[in-house]
């Protein structure tokens, strides 16, 4: 498997189109190039194409759970020797978020954040600026 050249700074995956667009708009306002996905079945292919260093992912999506994708992402990042910062987003209870963070960490991701919905614009912008600064 060959990881594609970096075409985006952030990959956003959430089945809620309005939320995905919101995150994309905030990312763009922070000067980031974002790829937006509402179909979780396209995530792996898009990640392989872009090797996005920041991924914002909903935990609860139809077809593929964020838990499954977080596990795959950790394995992918480890196999490709790339650093990926993951932000898990959920309207679920804290236990669900903690479980997903644990699975992502065990799978090889060292930098895992979590946000609870609804997400405030200022909180998201601050998080994106902090994650971007870590890359420099």
Q: Are 14 and 109 in contact (CB under 8 A)?
A: no
Give the model confidence (pLDDT) of 3-62 as tens digits: 555 578 999 999 999 999 999 999 999 999 999 999 989 999 999 999 999 999 998 888
Please give the structure tokens belonging to residue 75: 């394995």
> How many Cα atoms sit within 13 Å of 23 on the Cβ side?
30
Give the tokens for residue 98: 């903690």
Q: How confident is the model at residue 2 (pLDDT cuts 50, 70, 90)?
A: very low
pLDDT digits (tens, 9 = 90+) for 54-85: 999 998 888 877 788 888 999 999 999 999 99
H or E element: which one contains 122?
Answer: helix 121-135
Report how far Cα 83 is from the mean position of its chain's Cα atoms.
Answer: 12
Domains detected in the chain: 10-135 (3.40.50.2300)
In this prediction, residue 131 has a pLDDT band, given cuts at 50, 70 and 90, of: very high
Each residue's pLDDT tens digit, 87-110: 999 887 777 788 888 888 888 888
What's the pTM value of the predicted model, to 2 decimals? 0.90
């Amino acid at each position: 498997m060959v990881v594609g050249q970096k075409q985006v700074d952030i990959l956003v995956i959430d089945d809620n189109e309005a939320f995905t667009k919101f995150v994309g708009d905030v990312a763009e306002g922070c000067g980031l190039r974002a790829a937006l996905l509402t179909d979780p079945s396209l995530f792996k292919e898009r990640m392989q194409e872009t090797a996005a260093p920041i991924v914002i992912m909903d935990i609860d999506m139809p077809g593929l759970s964020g838990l499954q994708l977080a596990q795959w992402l950790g394995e992918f990042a480890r196999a490709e020797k790339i650093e990926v910062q993951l932000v898990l987003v959920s309207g679920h209870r804290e236990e669900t978020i903690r479980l997903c963070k644990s699975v992502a960490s065990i799978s090889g991701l060292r930098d895992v954040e979590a946000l609870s919905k609804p997400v405030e614009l200022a909180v998201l912008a601050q998080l994106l600026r902090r994650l971007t600064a870590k890359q420099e």
